Amino acid sequence: MTQGKSLQEYAKLSSDETLTKINSSKTGLTEQEVHKRLEKYGKNVITSTKQQSMFKVFFTNFTSMMAILLWVAGFIALMTGTPELGIAIWLVNLINGIFSFWQQYRAQQATSALQKMLPNYVKVIRDGKTNKVLAEELVPGDVVLLASGDNIPADGRVLSADSLEVNQSSLTGESTTVNKEIDIQTSEDLKNVGQYAEQNLVYEGTSVVSGSGSFIVLATGMTTEFGQIATLTTSVTDVKSPLQKELDILTRQLSFIAIVIGVLFFIAAVFFVGYPWAKAFIFALGMVVAFIPEGLLPTVTLSLAMAVQKMAKKNALVKHLNSVETLGETTVICSDKTGTLTKNEMTIEKVWLPIADYAVSGTGYEPNGIVTKADKKIELSEESDLLQLIRIASLCNNSAIEEKDNHYQLVGSPDEGSLLILADKADYDLGDEKTNYPRQNELPFDSKRKRMSTIHRNNKKYYVFTKGGITEVLSCCQSYLKNGQILTLDENSKKQILAQNDTFAKSGLRTLAFAYRSLGSDEEISVSNCEQNLIFVGLTASQDPPRENVIQAIQKCHDASIRIIMVTGDYGLTAESIARKIGIVKGNDVRIITGDDLAAMSDDTLKDNLRHEVIFARVAPEQKYRVVSLLQSLGEIVASTGDGVNDAPALKKADIGVAMGITGTDVAKEAADMILTDDNFTSIVNAIEEGRTVYNNIRKFLLYILNSNMPEAIPSLLFLLSKGTIPLPLTVMQILTIDLGTDMLPALGLATEQTEAGTMKKPPRKRTEHLLTKQIILKAFVWYGLLASIISIGAYFFVNHLNGWPQVALATDGTVYVMATTMTLAAIVFCQIGAVFNCRTQKQSLFKIGLFSNKRILGGICFEIILIVCLMYVPFLQKLFGTTGIQFQDWLFLICIPLPLILIEEIRKKIIRKA
């Protein structure tokens, strides 16, 4: 009967035919019938999908591959007879999991966004009487009354309309209001206007800007267009982020390395040294634990959390930690135009009169500009023709600009708002003029004639003021105004006017034409009478201006090899003009694909177009979703921006969904991974830069912790290869002390390192490029690790030398042995001090960014020095970790370690920069 039938089919029926089809009437349904239909169709609510329980979300944070590896590592530590370290590893896991869960919990606190957009109460006609009912109790067949400011609670067919204008930007994303009428729409009409622009249909989630009317409910709840989009949004399944996938790969890689080393050490301990199998097994397990990066998860979490805090200060709120790094991998941004790249504030840029043309400065709804002629500010009293145009524009106008808390807000139509701001910039006294020209009547705008006229009285004379489309207004004119004189509008004059209009159109400007004439006091007030023999005055040319700094932000994206694809509900020519103006497209082979083109296009053809400069115009929500999906199938990491309900499915499907915080609908915000609190495209670029920084910092951490594995492993390797002749220079307990004690805080400091110069001059990393690369392995093991191994083993032999070696054998126990192993441990710690400074940059000089600029690293270094001192001199720690105090000359040896390591690395980086 109703739900499920295409709404456009009802647009082709008259209001009476619609009522008959739906078994209703203008007096509404009976209460009995309402109950029947409520049982049949259900409540008018958006059904939310069942979310994961908090317990399941909590548990998930402890079952990632890295988390499982840490649980196992803790168990191994217990088996090696070191319960303190086993518990410490588990605590690291617990703290990290709780921290991640808390971030997710805060992001899920908002209630269903779709429910928020529904009005609570609506006025309906039932049993011939007007009633106020809950919106959720509406059923198909209800007659709903509308007034200015109302939210529309369901989809339906207009039954009556009195200057009814509806804001559908929540569905279409476009700022232009739609006039609603009761007239039947033909198939040709529907084809021309496109989706959601039908003049006799209204949609749930939109709102009434002005006027009043009524409509018959045709669809409720999930069967509305709003509900269908919500279905698209909730049907998109969550997948692992690129960072989560990378961490899984890294976990497998490090697990493999650790197990292989453990097996090799086990074999060597049994067959070279002659260890008993049980002792060899414990020894090998200790080496396995040593190669597991216990600090990786906390570092990743801290790095992401710090980035979230930084981005929040830069007006980007991130809902999921892993989304930060995904931003850094973004290769394509699918961006809406209105409200994202532009301000969603129509602004008049030019005024054209037959006698002169004018430029208008300033953007948006703040009167912060002036009107100039030949680069000089005008005096309106000296520009009689311009005064007449502004008078028509201001008085033939139903909108208003309100100032609240030093912020200007539009109430009404964006086009009319731009006319009021023009008047303000020209110092036009609207208050006095309304008094001098009181409105007597109105001939409302309608889509057929595309004009609006108002009747005004001034000193017992009557005037009709008209504004509208150029063709429609010009067809009613017989003369034109020039320098205060009324001249005949001949063909040459018409051509001149139309040529100027075409010039504006090619520049992507939207035009309005203005005309007037005097009326006799006894003339009939009708469209046919009033809108004839008009005097043409001039044109205004307006545009939704680009956001501040958007041109620089787009250039930054190009420098970073990030493509931007405009996906908009606006017309193709307008979209291309804006895209060229702000630098999204530059070539001559720009593909402009409309929604109709897209619907008829195969996936293969669309993929081919996506490899070129392309703009999508007049597209429907599911089409934007399709564009995002196919880009992902081409291997792109896609960020999709938007603010309307129509953007929600694509926001959810994209690798990163970015919603506008000010103009964005709650639905878009709910679907998105990130919300821009200032609606500024520049904030996206800042977020991408932060995302790249996060990934780079995780790599710096990885390099840092891996290079300590070499000096940890080499002493044990020497012990094995010498078949025990060289006593074990570093005990398992001391190895784990480095991993969980001294290394942890400096490593976490690397997570907060600032963005390196040139980060946004590089292309996004390839999908095949992993966190652990050959370059990192070579640098960690062959360069940093080898240097640290030589120094730490040198420290071991240095202590033995001071105590008689090689004249006496290397100590296997006693004070000298404990002092030698303590020195080996301390040497590795001091090597790591140099290493943490070296890991702060990839190529840039450490001295350029500031040796002491990262306070967290300095704090971490102070902590590890204090810790190693405590291990040496606190009695119960000496016993636990097998350490002892060292002599003065030993301390001199240690203090001299970091600086040469830093200087050697600076030389290497300088050679790379020059290469």
pLDDT the model gives residue 854: 93
Angle at 144 between CA 10 and CA 26, to 5 degrees: 70
The pLDDT value given to residue 19: 92
C-alpha angle 807-809-810 in degrees, rounded to nearest 5 = 120
Least confident of 286-290, 466-470, 745-749, 759-763: 286-290
Give the model's confidence band at 1: pLDDT under 50 very low, under 70 low, under 90 confident, else very high. Answer: very low
> Is 610 within 8 Å of 634 (Cβ atoms)?
yes
Q: Write out pLDDT tens, residues 43-56.
A: 998 765 555 666 77
Q: How high does pLDDT run on average in the chain?
A: 85
More confident site: 18 or 281: 18
d(CA 481, CA 495): 16
Q: What is the structure's pLDDT at 532? A: 94
Instruction: pLDDT band for 118, please (50, 70, 90 cuts).
Output: very low
What integer is the mean pLDDT of 218-244? 73
Q: Is 484 exposed, middle or buried (0-12, 13-18, 19+ CB in 10 A)?
A: exposed
Beta bridge partners of 216: 143, 157
Query: For 826-851, what is the mean pLDDT?
Result: 93
User: What pLDDT is recorded for position 827?
Assistant: 95
Residue 630 has pLDDT above 80, yes or no: yes
Q: Exactly one of 142, 150, 155, 336 is catalytic; which is it?
A: 336
Helix (H) or strand (E) holding 692: helix 681-707
Q: Which helix (H) or strand (E) holds 502?
A: helix 491-506
Tell me if the bond preceding 621 is cis, omega within 30° of 0. no
Give the C-alpha separation, 174 to 644, whole Å.
Answer: 9
CA distance 370 to 361: 5
The answer on pLDDT for 64 being more than 90 is no
Q: What is the pLDDT of residue 115?
A: 40
Residue 116 scores a pLDDT above 50: no
Give Cα 313 to chain centroid, integer Å.
15
Q: How far is CA 189 from CA 34, 197, 298, 447, in A?
A: 34, 10, 60, 11
Candidates 645, 680, 674; CA nearest to 659 is: 674
Q: How confident is the model at residue 376 (pLDDT cuts 50, 70, 90)?
A: very high
Q: Is 876 helix (H, G, I), strand (E, B) or coil?
A: helix
Among 832, 821, 777, 769, which residue's Cα sits nearest to residue 797?
821
Residue 397 confidence (pLDDT) above 70: yes
The pLDDT score that the predictor gives to residue 328 is 84
Residue 834 CB neighbours (<10 A)? 22
The confidence score (pLDDT) of residue 239 equals 62
pLDDT at 164 over 80: yes
905 pLDDT higher than 90: yes
Q: How far apart are CA 416 and CA 179, in angstroms?
A: 14
Residues, the chain: 915
Which of 613, 617, 655, 651 minimizes the C-alpha distance to 633? Answer: 655
Reply yes or no on whether the pLDDT at 104 is more than 60.
no
Q: How far apart are CA 658 and CA 100, in angstroms?
A: 21
Residue 775 is which amino acid? Q
Measure the CA–CA gap between 893 and 217, rounded to whole angstroms. Answer: 86
Residue 218's pLDDT is what?
94
Answer for the pair 541, 509: CB distance below 8 angstroms, yes or no: yes
Q: Which domains does the chain have, with CATH numbers?
A: 1-232 (2.70.150.10), 293-309+692-753+771-914 (1.20.1110.10), 316-341+547-679 (3.40.50.1000), 356-543 (3.40.1110.10)
Q: How confident is the model at residue 881 (pLDDT cuts 50, 70, 90)?
A: confident
Give the pLDDT of residue 892: 93
Picking from 46-50, 221-225, 604-608, 892-896, which range would have the lowest pLDDT averaged per residue? 46-50
The distance in angstroms from the start CA to the end CA of the chain is 75
CA distances from 634 to 356, 603, 651 (A): 53, 11, 18
Cβ(213)–Cβ(156) below 8 Å: no
Contact indicator for 695, 325 with CB cutoff of 8 Å: yes
> What values do phi and psi take at 732, rounded to 5?
-60, -40
Given a contact cutoff of 8 angstroms between Cβ atoms, the answer to whether 628 and 606 are in contact is no
Residue spans of alpha helices (H) in 601-680: 603-610, 621-633, 648-653, 666-671
pLDDT band with cut points at 50, 70 and 90 for residue 112: very low
Q: List C-alpha distances in Å: 326 to 28, 356, 508, 764.
A: 53, 53, 35, 10
Per residue in 26-41, pLDDT tens?
A: 999 999 999 999 999 9
CA angle (388 as vertex; 384, 393 as ends), nearest 5 = 145
Q: How high is the pLDDT of residue 467? A: 96
pLDDT above 90 (res 69)? no
User: Higher pLDDT residue, 388 or 767?
Assistant: 388
For residues 421 and 442, give the distance between their C-alpha atoms in angstroms, rounded to a whole number: 22
> 3-state class of 463 per DSSP?
strand
86-90, 477-481, 543-547, 838-842: which has the minimum mean pLDDT? Answer: 86-90
More confident residue, 706 or 231: 706
pLDDT band at 7 (very low <50, low <70, confident <90, very high): confident
Told to judge if 162 belongs to the known catalytic residues of this protein, a careful annotator would answer no
pLDDT value for 524: 87
Provide the strand spans (E) within 174-258.
Answer: 178-180, 201-202, 207-219
Q: Could you give the C-alpha distances from 823 to 287, 733, 785, 818, 869, in angstroms and in order?
A: 20, 14, 17, 9, 11
Task: Report whether pLDDT(631) > 70.
Answer: yes
Average pLDDT over residues 760-782: 85
Q: Express as a percent the part of the chain with pLDDT over 70.
A: 89
- Distance between CA atoms of residues 166 and 213, nearest Å: 11
* DSSP helix/strand/coil, 335: strand
Task: Give me the residue label for tokens 């005024």.
Answer: 351
Q: What are phi and psi of 427, to 5 degrees?
A: 60, 40
Q: Residue 70: enclosing H or E segment and its boundaries?
A: helix 65-79
pLDDT score of 137 more than 80: yes
Per-residue pLDDT tens over the stretch 525-546: 888 899 999 999 999 999 888 8
What sign has the CA pseudo-torsion 804, 805, 806, 811? positive
Look at residue 632 in the predicted model and tell me its pLDDT: 93
For residue 595, the one-letter residue type is G
Q: How many CB atoms are closer than 10 A to CB 823?
A: 28
- In three-state secondary structure terms, 306 is helix
User: In the chain, what percentage of residues exceed pLDDT 90?
Assistant: 40
Q: Please state, in angstroms and rounded to a whole number, the distance separating the CA atoms of residues 566 and 593.
A: 11
pLDDT for residue 491: 93
Write down the pLDDT at residue 836.
95
What amino acid is encoded at 311 in this protein? M
Taking the C-alpha atoms of residue 306 and residue 481, their distance in angstroms, rounded to an integer, is 64
Say what the pLDDT of residue 240 is. 66
pLDDT at 705: 83
